[in-house]
Structure 1
Amino acid sequence: MLSQDMLMALLLASVRSAAWLLVSPPFSNRAIPGAVKALLALAIALPLAPRLAGDLPELSGAGVLVASVEQVVAGVAFGFLTALVFAAVQAAGDLIDIFGGFSLATAFDPATGSANSVFGKFYGLLCTTLLLVSGGYQFVLLGFTQTYRLLPLDGTLSLETLSNLVTDGLTEMFVSALQVAGPLIAVLFVADAALGLLSKAAPAMNIFAIGFPVKIFLTMALAGIAISVLPGVIDGLTDRAVRMMTGLANG
């Protein structure tokens, strides 16, 4: 039979893991039912409960409420840092949309009645697929479980460390997005320059009508170059996400 300390440790650990699963990819995907996420949160916390039972906050009513809120904040913070790292892949797809002329499709999607991004959405789904197929999600999950050791249930999250990690994460996200989409963007930039020179050499030609098909053709023809580097990128992003979570937990 579980003791009171064990049950409280299981409750608080489950709260942190549930908050993390709601934000962190690939578990935040809406295709995963809420009941599955709840069971997964419990499965994460259950093996850790015996060790965490010795690091409990005050067990009064107010103490439990405050501790629960702190665990929600901690879980969301860890999940946000993880999502921020992997957002670089979708940001790379969004850059390809802008430079390749596919951003026009974001104006309106009649199928869903909302804005939609072609390559951005495709890269986001591809990132989730690679995380699941390669087993990278297990490494991310292992990194999250380490936060319980570095930041016990009675610990306090460092807001200063969080702000520094978010700032550094935003910078690294844009750099990673440029590294993924950079070769294709460079080709499209050269195509834009060539079309501009052609418009000067032959003003009678309707370059505006020619430019979009040419850029879309180049994007579709060379998209495989950007996609081929994604497995290595996902591996590096997975390691970075783990380091950021453990760095925040370590304060």
Structure 2
Amino acid sequence: MQWALDMALVETIMLASVRLVAFLVVAPPFHVEAFPSSVKVAIALGMALAIAPRVQASATVPPGALLTGPTAGIIGALVVQAVLGLALGFAVRMVFAAVQSAGALIDVFGGFELAQAFDPVTGSQGAVFSRFYYMAALALMFATDAYQVVLLGMVRSFDAVPVGSGMSLDGLGSLMSGGLSQLMVAALQIAGPLLVVLFLADVGLGLLTRVAPALNAFALGFPLKILITLSLGSVAFLALPQVVSALADSAFALMAGGA
């Protein structure tokens, strides 16, 4: 018995899986160290098999032409797919990093910045609210099925940037700048109300110090700001599911637009 190997299908699955693996390495919630690498590869191969007809339909080169052509052609195509996957994953990571950045802003203004510790999930130093918000966002991504929206956006990227097409540096730059701008705006939107309250508390303590210098109001400022942060921070945490859902929609639109 002889088996006929479809070189066009092999090429499509190989190129699509490289982009998907590179994406899963850096994109949340799959980028954490606790997520096994073998599972990432299995997810990428499964998705590549599922979307192979769609990828073939949108490809800009004839199916199987790269494998039957020069070696440099297939190597260059694999490198382009890996770079695209990393770029899209990094853009999505920047979008969801808004939650961690909002927690970091709350730590700075609320007086928790001194209590920094190593975060094994992100591999960086973070204070209380920074780590708490980020871990909560990762959990909510699975609880609210936001990860499915992220994967769907990755699938749509094959329509925006077909397999075999070149990589646009202008599009890649706009993708990164768009993700960075969304990061800053979303972080301020999440932590903004609490930061305003903490700023008003500082203003009130400053006025109280001017009126009654003997009270040493700034010595009372640290426990007061910590109390305000713990009280209002828990209230702001209730809006985090809607925030994660909105960020997932933003990540989907970012990837659907392509690089």
Q: TM-score, normalised by structure 1?
A: 0.91
Amino acid at match of 1:58: L
- Determine which of 155, 160, 167 is the counterpart of 2:170: 160
Which residue does 1:18 correspond to in 2? 21
Which residue does 2:72 correspond to in 1? 62
- Determine which of 91, 111, 114 is the counterpart of 1:101: 111
Amino acid at match of 1:95: L
Distance (whole Å) between structure 2 residues aligned to residue 170 and residue 146 of structure 1:
21
1:165-204 mapped onto 2 (5 Å cutoff): 165-204=175-214
Task: Structure 2 unaligned segments of length 5 or more: list them.
Answer: none
CA contact (8 A) 2:205 2:218 kept: no
Distance (whole Å) between structure 1 residues aligned to residue 124 and residue 162 of structure 2:
42
1:109-124 mapped onto 2 (5 Å cutoff): 115-124=125-134
Name the Cα RMSD after superposition: 2.1
Which residue does 1:39 correspond to in 2? 42
Offset at residue 195 of structure 1 (A): 1.3
Comparing 59-68 and 48-57, the one that deviates more? 48-57
Q: Which has the higher helix share?
A: 1
Offset at residue 114 of structure 1 (A): 7.2
Offset at residue 206 of structure 1 (A): 3.6
- Determine which of 212, 233, 237 is the counterpart of 1:227: 237
Q: What percent of counterpart residues are identical?
A: 45
Task: Structure 1 unaligned segments of length 5 or more: list them.
Answer: none
- Whether 1:129 aligns to 2:139 is yes
Q: 1:150 to 1:167 in 2, by over 3 A?
A: closer
CA contact (8 A) 1:199 1:207 kept: yes
Distance (whole Å) between structure 2 residues aligned to residue 168 and residue 35 of structure 1:
31
Which residue does 2:88 correspond to in 1? 78
Distance (whole Å) between structure 2 residues aligned to residue 245 and residue 64 of structure 1:
24
CA contact (8 A) 1:16 1:72 kept: yes
Comparing 205-214 and 71-80, the one that deviates more? 205-214
| SS of equivalent residue, structure 1 residue 248 | coil
Q: How many equivalent residue pairs? A: 247
- Determine which of 3, 6, 9 is the counterpart of 2:6: 3
